[in-house]
Structure 1
Amino acid sequence: MDAASRSAAALGIDFGTHNTVAAVLRGDGRRHQILFDGHPLLPSGIYIDHDGSLLVGRDAAREARRHPHRYERNPKLRLDAPSLLLGDREVPIGDAVRAVLRRVLAECTAIAGPPRSVTVTVPAAWGPNRRHIVTDAALAAGLPAPLLLPEPVAAARYFAEVLGHRIEPGRALVVYDLGAGTFDASAVAFGPGGFEVLAVDGSDRVGGHYLDQALVDYLGGRFAGTEERSSAWRALLDPDAGGEVLRARFQLYDEVREAKERLSRRSTTEVLVPGFAAEELLTRAELDLLARPLLAQTVAITKAVIREARLSPDQVAGVFMVGGASRMPLAATMIHQELGIAPTMIEQPELVVGEGAVAVADQPVTPAAVPPPALPLTPAAVPPPTAPVTVVQPVVQPPPPPRRRGLPVALLAIATVLAASLVGGGAWWLGSLDGQAAEEDPTGTEESETVETEDPASPLATNTPEPEETTTSAAPEVITGEVYWNCPQTRLYCAGQGGEPGIRGSASDPTAIGYAAVGTVFELVCYETADLITPRGNEGEEGYWDYHEGKDASDVMVRVVLGENEFGYIPFVWLIIDPADVNSLGGLAEC
């Protein structure tokens, strides 16, 4: 490879609270993540060695197990302090940031050559002091003079180019960024000068780390039964303890963080508490119960940002969830419940901002013509914001992929049928433990729950080719059921479910693979029988008893359509097929 091609790379860096992410855009248009020791996430922690050198990433975390007092896990949260105390040495905060950025530069140079341009993302609400610290650290690390790009703008670029969505004039994207130590909500619009941040707000007291602490406190309550166990727990959390106890506490927080991440994919997990023989069982219901107050703050901030940007519901082009902590199923569920908008997610939301930093700036794409939005929107519908507006360099927004463009008239009937089939699956996806992204209608308009369509390929009644002699056959009857659930929120199980019943992967396995929003209408396929569920409110076995007026106990599990070639099972006690007789299957056949 010649020198020119090895230096033709734009570098984007997302310096995060817990992890740093970087991506490169090569001169030939190829874009990819930089891997650090085989992983796209570089731990942002800093460790000072005995000779005064600074280690970062996994090397730093590994050494911290032996000498935790020499380690700072989250230097980004300490930017307002002039220095960090690592061991017995004061390390200027700028040196700590420089060490992280220097590691990124070394990896970029090794795989793609020295970058010709660098973009570092920062929170939109940061003031000049923190921005100058990052800029100076980048220059000291040997990087070219960096462009500091607001994180929500980077997310909007990813939303537009990588996911293929368009942000029409008069509309804005809401970016919900829940990271390890901070939360930010922003409204971003695309105008003649590029992407603009219309409004932004956030909190430094909401994030994955604060939920980790809530889980640790919750576990501590289990050890208050005896004086011996309670004393051992207090010793484990003693801030003045020696190195051995510090190592055990580091292990505890690592265990809790990993358990939290597993509960985004599973319904139960176990935590090994250092110094205690037995592992502690944690359930997703318990996690959701602890997370709900924190997530309620993020929802309130998001609603305030939408109001500050003066956006009506029709003017919200989408809610894009980014940041590692946004992977929690409950976060998407609460956003959907409060805003009435199904948020957009991807499998690895922590990579969005880093890749969005190099999404479009160096590869402008001429947008193609698009049809007008379904709802009439006045260009002046988004007035000048009251908050300062952040404008980035002009970036030409790319066209959406062909499959999201307007369909020819001849295919509109088919498109309508497909849209109707997706309505039932949308709500299920919000709670899905797979964490996979769901793409929204780019116009942001809501679809009705029932769509009347015509069969575009109706068979002829006779063999004659004359059109006036033809008749259409009746379409197969589709049986639907509406989710109805009234589980009292005073019960731990009900509160942990977030007011939504679980969807099973199989009829006989009660483990939830997702959650169904109350009022969602599902297309029903057939039914099987499994365990008996009594919906009358008797407490019984935890996790199987809820309250539902008028319903009889039932062992029927109804197979429902979740999406294209995707199915799940919902207990019949939570479905209404025939409103006139809530215990009727409405002619649904056995599988």
Structure 2
Amino acid sequence: MDAAPRSAAALGIDFGTHNTVAAVLRGDGRRHQILFDGHPLLPSGIYIDHDGLLLVGRDAAREARRHPHRYERNPKLRLDAPSLLLGDREVPVRDAVCAVLRRVLAECTAVAGAPRSVTITVPAGWGPNRRHIVADAALAAGMPAPLLLPEPVAAARYFAEVLGHRMEPGRAVVVYDLGAGTFDASAVAFGPDGFEVLAVDGSDRVGGHYLDQELVDYLGGRFAGTEERSSAWRALLDPDAGGEVLRARFQLYDEVREAKERLSRRSTTEVLVPGFAAEELLTRAELDLLARPLLARTVAITKAVIREARLAPEQVAGVFMVGGASRMPLAATMIHQELGIAPTMIEQPELVVSEGAVAVADQPATPAAAPPPALPLTVVPPPGPVTVAQPLVPPPTGPATAVQPVVPPRRRGLPVALLALASVLAVALIGGGAWWLSGLDGQAAEEDPTTAAAETSTAESEDPASPLVSNTPEPEETTSDDPGPLTGEVYWNCPQTRSYCADQGGEPGIRGSADDVTAIGYAAVGTVFELVCYERADLITPRGNEDEEGFWDYHEGKDASDVMVRVVLGENEYGYIPFVWLVIDPADVNSLGGLAEC
């Protein structure tokens, strides 16, 4: 490898509660994840050995099995404490963070060279104290003065730059970030100076770890039948127990966490409880029952953020689910049911923030050799609103990776400010046309019917896609406002190398009922069906996996959806086609286009 790219890498780091993730942007524009022992996830835990050396990652987790009292699994949750007690030694919390960042820097230097710039993502709601601890730790690790970027801004970068979603001014992406120990919801808009956070809220009592505890408590209820089993369970959870019991408890929580992750892919799994001979069966239905109250809080917070940002439905560019815990199928289902928006998901949501930190080319940075005597970092201030320190270039308008080119929308609402401007222009151009704007949620009101028949200009110059413009000619005769039946076109991109795609002849199946997967027929690609309504059934994800090789099963821009669309097959004859195989609005393949629930 030549010297130029090895000395011009931009490093993006997502210092997480349970795992730390890093991505590098090389000098030639290539971007990739940094691997730690062959994995993109570096456990954030730290361990202190008998010589006072701090170990991180899998080395730390491995040693923790022998001496758990020397291990801190989640240093990010301890930033408000001055120090951590590891074994019989107190370790300053800054040194703990520094150890993790130093490992990231070492791996980056080994594979891509010393980074010229470093971006570390932090929660948007963090105050100065936590931000300064992370910045000081980065400098102590030998990094250049870091840019601290709000995590939702990094996610919005990924949404626009990597996934290729159009982010027009006035629209915002809602970032649903469910991690191991925290949840954050943010509304991030794209403006002339880059991305800015319009509203943010969250909770440090919701996350994967809290669900793990719910699962442990649930399993404990199964051991209350006999005094012997109940006593053994209480001993396993005894906080004052010795090292052997503590190691068993670590193993229990690892088992529960891995079982929870397996249930994101399977309907059942088994949990090995240390000290008990039999494995315990756990089902996804049980997991969903325990997770629903926690996830309901995340949905309520997300709805409040949308309301606080004063976003009308047409101003929401998407709901982007990031963070490892967001891959639970129930999370996407509840968001879709409550907001009416099919969320955007990717296979590895825990990688989004680190890649978003280096989603655009970095700007020349001040050399790290001459930092100012005070805290030498560039900090993006917290909301609200929050604006990235370096403006982003506008998102590309050409074809993006794995995303269909965006075409102009058929009928899209405009932001409130633009609607007001359109109203003024309409009055000036038409000379007396009366337009009224509703103040509710930024929605445009319909034209006042009492003045619609007044003097009408024959030369309309406004955008015909605007809901404020009437495209109807002079009202010589009464015309119908009925737009006709709503239709959807079948799209299928399932590779014939997959057995079930070949079995279906490259055509999706038509169901007899929403919740019956048996096909009563098959829909040819390109067929346009008249749509009736929709029902909800099983969640279908837009990606599949066969023989460990991933494929796009359906439309490249489609999100997971549990919507089954009722279509007209003939006179008094109907069927159901999963929404992941239908495109109703070409401008937004995840839009139902006004289709109502049955």
**TM-score if structure 2 supplies the norm length?**
0.65
**Residue 589 (structure 1) shift:** 27
Once the two structures are superposed, what CA deviation does each residue of 1:346-396 show, in whole Å capped at 9, x if it has no partner?
Answer: 000000000000001428999999999999999xxx999999999999999
Alpha carbons 1:178, 1:325 under 8 Å: kept: yes
Q: Tell me, what secondary structure is at the counterpart of 2:551?
A: coil
CA, structure 1 residues 289+481, in 2 after alignment: closer, same or farther (shift >3 Å)?
A: farther
**Residue 458 (structure 1) shift:** 32
Alpha carbons 2:180, 2:209 under 8 Å: kept: yes
Aligned counterpart, 1:51: 51
Q: Tell me, what secondary structure is at the counterpart of 1:116?
A: strand
Q: Could you tell me the percent identity over the aligned residues?
A: 91
**Residue 148 (structure 1) shift:** 0.1
CA, structure 1 residues 544+476, in 2 after alignment: closer, same or farther (shift >3 Å)?
A: same
**Residue 4 (structure 1) shift:** 2.9
Aligned counterpart, 2:241: 241
**Residue 300 (structure 1) shift:** 0.5
CA, structure 1 residues 406+283, in 2 after alignment: closer, same or farther (shift >3 Å)?
A: same
Alpha carbons 1:324, 1:348 under 8 Å: kept: yes
CA, structure 1 residues 294+546, in 2 after alignment: closer, same or farther (shift >3 Å)?
A: farther
Measure the CA separation in 1 of the matches of 2:377 and 2:143: 44
Alpha carbons 1:374, 1:445 under 8 Å: kept: no
Q: Tell me, what secondary structure is at the counterpart of 1:467?
A: coil
Once the two structures are superposed, what CA deviation does each residue of 1:469-490 show, in whole Å capped at 9, x if it has no partner?
Answer: 9x99999999999999999999
Measure the CA separation in 1 of the matches of 2:252 and 2:416: 60
Alpha carbons 1:177, 1:185 under 8 Å: kept: yes
Q: Tell me, what secondary structure is at the counterpart of 1:562?
A: strand
Q: Tell me, what secondary structure is at the counterpart of 2:482?
A: coil
Alpha carbons 1:199, 1:385 under 8 Å: kept: no
CA, structure 1 residues 318+272, in 2 after alignment: closer, same or farther (shift >3 Å)?
A: same
**Residue 192 (structure 1) shift:** 1.1
The 10-residue stretch of structure 1 (548-557 or 77-86) with the greater mean CA deviation from structure 2: 548-557
**Residue 546 (structure 1) shift:** 30
**Residue 502 (structure 1) shift:** 16
**Residue 55 (structure 1) shift:** 0.3
Measure the CA separation in 1 of the matches of 2:291 and 2:251: 22
CA, structure 1 residues 528+415, in 2 after alignment: closer, same or farther (shift >3 Å)?
A: farther
Measure the CA separation in 1 of the matches of 2:432 and 2:535: 20
Alpha carbons 2:13, 2:354 under 8 Å: kept: yes
Alpha carbons 2:495, 2:551 under 8 Å: kept: no
Measure the CA separation in 1 of the matches of 2:423 and 2:104: 47
**Residue 5 (structure 1) shift:** 2.5
Alpha carbons 2:406, 2:587 under 8 Å: kept: no
**Residue 19 (structure 1) shift:** 0.3
Once the two structures are superposed, what CA deviation does each residue of 1:521-572 show, in whole Å capped at 9, x if it has no partner?
Answer: 9999999999999999999999999999999999999999999999999999
CA, structure 1 residues 105+439, in 2 after alignment: closer, same or farther (shift >3 Å)?
A: farther
Q: May I ask how many residue pairs the two structures share in their alignment?
A: 583
Aligned pair 1:463/2:471, yes or no?
yes
Once the two structures are superposed, what CA deviation does each residue of 1:463-510 show, in whole Å capped at 9, x if it has no partner?
Answer: 9999999x9999999999999999999999999999999999999999
Alpha carbons 1:16, 1:44 under 8 Å: kept: yes
Once the two structures are superposed, what CA deviation does each residue of 1:150-189 show, in whole Å capped at 9, x if it has no partner?
Answer: 0000000000110001211111110000000000000001
CA, structure 1 residues 121+562, in 2 after alignment: closer, same or farther (shift >3 Å)?
A: farther
Measure the CA separation in 2 of the matches of 1:370 and 1:143: 12
Q: CA RMSD in A?
A: 15.9
Q: Which sections of structure 2, spanning at least 5 residues, go unmatched?
A: 379-392
Alpha carbons 1:429, 1:514 under 8 Å: kept: no
Q: Tell me, what secondary structure is at the counterpart of 1:402?
A: coil
CA, structure 1 residues 113+255, in 2 after alignment: closer, same or farther (shift >3 Å)?
A: same
**TM-score if structure 1 supplies the norm length?**
0.66
CA, structure 1 residues 424+208, in 2 after alignment: closer, same or farther (shift >3 Å)?
A: farther
Alpha carbons 1:162, 1:359 under 8 Å: kept: yes
Measure the CA separation in 2 of the matches of 1:266 and 1:584: 28
The 10-residue stretch of structure 1 (107-116 or 413-422) with the greater mean CA deviation from structure 2: 413-422
Alpha carbons 2:414, 2:466 under 8 Å: kept: no
Measure the CA separation in 2 of the matches of 1:583 and 1:561: 21
Measure the CA separation in 2 of the matches of 1:460 and 1:309: 23
The 10-residue stretch of structure 1 (546-555 or 357-366) with the greater mean CA deviation from structure 2: 546-555
Alpha carbons 2:491, 2:554 under 8 Å: kept: no
Alpha carbons 1:117, 1:146 under 8 Å: kept: yes
Alpha carbons 1:413, 1:454 under 8 Å: kept: no
CA, structure 1 residues 138+217, in 2 after alignment: closer, same or farther (shift >3 Å)?
A: same
